[in-house]
A and B are shown apart, each in its own frame.
Chain A
Amino acid sequence: MDQFLQHFVNAMIMGSTYALLGIGLTLVFGIMRVVNFSHGELYALGAYTAYGFVALLELNYFNTLFMAIVVGFLAGWLIEFVLLRRCKLEQIDEVMLLMIGVMIVMQNTQLWVWGGVAKVVQTPFAQEPLVFGAVSVSPTRVFVFFAAMFLLTLFYFLIEKSRLGMAMRATFQDKDAAQIVGVNVKRIYTVTFALGSSMAAVTGALLAPVFLVAPTMGDLASLKAFAIVILGGLGNLVGAAMGGFVLAMLEEFGAGYISTAYRDAFGFLVILVVLLFRPQGMFASKERVG
């Protein structure tokens, strides 16, 4: 039971960050139909933003989270405005190649700027773990969980309650109809990509002090983000949030009770099953008509 609780707490914390990562990716796909291969690199960009501001400019860690959102937003805005806007988004192959190019350029730029050796990000939290009976967890991870849950809630209200969210949902449902009723679809695309990017970046900044910051950290993040999105259904926001938690649970309990050697395999095994029997994703009621 003790081990079960520890696994559960670990999975909830990782799940919250997976959810953030997944939502950013699925948002961009859902609205723009762009498969964003650079998502992991935007995550790494956020982590390096945290490192840069904490270690070099001695900024408070909490402020760097805000900075990561801003830097991620600007980077996403730039990618959309400079590159994607010049492409026909219907040509999926072309857009995919473009995004792979962006990924390679970003990863190598990070390597060039920061070097290959991993960095540690300091937080103001104590190193002593918090202990609840048999479960023990570091204060940094607890903060990461609550910050991620806060951001998920904020995002939910942004999409459901704000005018911008309504315009985004309208574009999501039918681009042409949205345009007819006066939604500036081009602007929605830019904001969507920037928002998705800033979510990846803030996830990177949140996890930077929990793990290490390295130029290739985006590869694993990208892989996980795609897994989450497929679990939840491509373009399905609630699905992505749920998918994040499901993937974290699968990995954690699979590793804890079956075999740690196949930790990453459990998630992908379930994805295979989901794709075979529910190709629309675990949480979608029916296949969405684009």
Chain B
Amino acid sequence: MIKNHWIKTALAASLVTASVAASADSIKIGMTQPLTGAVAASGTYVANGAKLAVEQINAKGGVLGQQIELILEDNKSNPREAVNSVEKLVLRDKVPVIIGAWSSTFTLAIMPKIEEYGVPLIVETSSSSKITTQGNAWVFRISPTSEMEAIAFAKKLKTFDPPIKQVDFLSVNNDWGLGAANEFKKIFADNGIKVNQIETVAPDATDLSAQLAAVKGSGSDTLIVTSGVEQLTLAIRQAAEQRLPQRIITTGGSFPEQLIANPGPKGYTSTHLLFFSPWTPEAAINPVVAKNYMDGWKEKDYPFPGLTEGFRGYDAVLTAVEAIKLAGKAEPEAIKEALWKTAVNGVNGDIAFIKSGPAGKESGQNVPNIYVVQLKDGVVSSAE
């Protein structure tokens, strides 16, 4: 009994010292990402990118003379858990700024909490238009909206040969997938392209064969797929298995990297809309930043294709740190005001926020760059 008591006391003491040691002289940045569950791959890459940025900034002396401490929480690919993670970050860790939450559904779930607690949120991935049009003044998005992505894609329509005449959609059944299908439908209508079928898939589904069989005979020449890395991989592989005649184009910036090591049948080509192309870093708007990011990633031995998503976390941290610097203190209200003045040279390009949403309660929205990449037989055949 006595021994037990001593162990407990020692444990409690060590916990207290550990938390004191970590919080002294450091500025906290909170982050919520899906590190497990249906979209864990993407969330892990984004988190790795953020860790890398924090490490590089700390090596150069941190910000405001203090080191940065990244507090990373797993939202388990689940909106309810995303809310829990924000509660923890704000109430227990008292972070002055949060980065998150990958999926639009998770981000939309945490937005009321962000407003309630008054902590600025830097949205690094989510693309649903609802995020910046709801009148939540604490939201600053660096990732493109689905509308921006669709417009950027419209400019590349002419580059497809044979041309796109009829399309089907396969979208994940959530705010992101359905929102993207809507925005792309608009640009197809404007360009005289016929939309035949829109099929949806549950976020955690692994067998997409029914959906693919349903679009197989639709007569379309192109299938637009919107989902996370795992489902993109499954969709492309299963489409090849069923010999879908459609050309596959994926949206949302995720890259099905498993297909590089395990390509589908020979000659099968897929096209991907990405927000960073690690195959052509020299073409990036800020090549030096892109190189720093890529070198750091390589040093850590993270998988190469993860670069296409890791930059989101990297750029989000650069943005948060710049805002803290401009604010001169790590306080939520000051960081929020500073975010409006922030201008960062990021991996994707120059990051700055324009106003979006109802007047007086505008959210911040960045205008990022978009790349089109083709994958054939496990090799990236063109990136522009």
Contacts and interface: CB of A to CB of B under 8 A. Distances in A.
Interface of A: 2-3, 6-7, 10, 14, 111, 115-118, 120, 122, 127-129, 131, 136-138, 141, 210-212, 214-217, 219-220, 251-252, 255-257, 260-261, 263-264
B283 interface: no
A260 B207 contact: no
Given A129-B242, A129-B243, A261-B200, A10 B36 contact: no
A241 B211 CA distance: 24
Residue from B35, B201, B209, B242 with most neighbouring chain A CB atoms (10 Å)? B209
A10 B258 contact: no
A263 B205 contact: yes
Interface string B45-58: 00000000000000
Contacts of A220: 204-206
B211 to A, nearest CB: 5
B248 interface: no
B360 interface: no
A127 B263 contact: yes
Interface of B: 35-38, 40-41, 43-44, 74, 77, 173, 199-202, 204-207, 209-211, 213-214, 216-217, 229-230, 233-234, 240-243, 258, 261-266
B218 to A, nearest CB: 10
Given A127-B263, A252-B210, A118 B230 contact: yes
Nearest to A221: B206
B230 A214 contact: yes
B175 to A, nearest CB: 14
A116 B44 contact: yes
B210 A212 contact: no
A117 B40 contact: yes
B68 to A, nearest CB: 24
Nearest to B263: A127
A118 B217 contact: no
A194 to B, nearest CB: 27
A11 B217 CA distance: 18
Contacts of B263: 127
Contact of A127 (B209, B213, B240, B258): B240
B241 A137 contact: yes
A122 B262 contact: yes
Contact of A212 (B35, B206, B213): B206
A10 B265 contact: no
Nearest to A141: B241
A2 B240 contact: no
B201 A260 contact: yes
A6 B350 CA distance: 48
Shortest 7 CB-CB contacts between residues of A and residues of B: A116-B40, A255-B210, A138-B241, A116-B36, A211-B206, A10-B209, A136-B243
Contacts of B41: 116-118
Nearest to B230: A118
B258 A120 contact: yes
A211 B217 contact: no
B40 A118 contact: yes
Given A118-B258, A251-B210, A255-B211, 10 more contacts: A2-B217, A116-B40, A117-B44, A120-B262, A122-B262, A127-B240, A127-B266, A128-B266, A137-B242, A215-B36
11 contacts: A3-B213, A6-B242, A7-B213, A116-B36, A129-B240, A129-B242, A136-B242, A136-B243, A212-B258, A216-B38, A219-B204
B243 A116 contact: no
Contact of B210 (A129, A214, A215, A260): A260
A212 B234 contact: yes
A6 B206 contact: no
Residue from B204, B233, B234 with most neighbouring chain A CB atoms (10 Å)? B204
Nearest to B200: A261
A264 B210 CA distance: 11
Contacts of B201: 260, 263
Contacts of A261: 173, 200
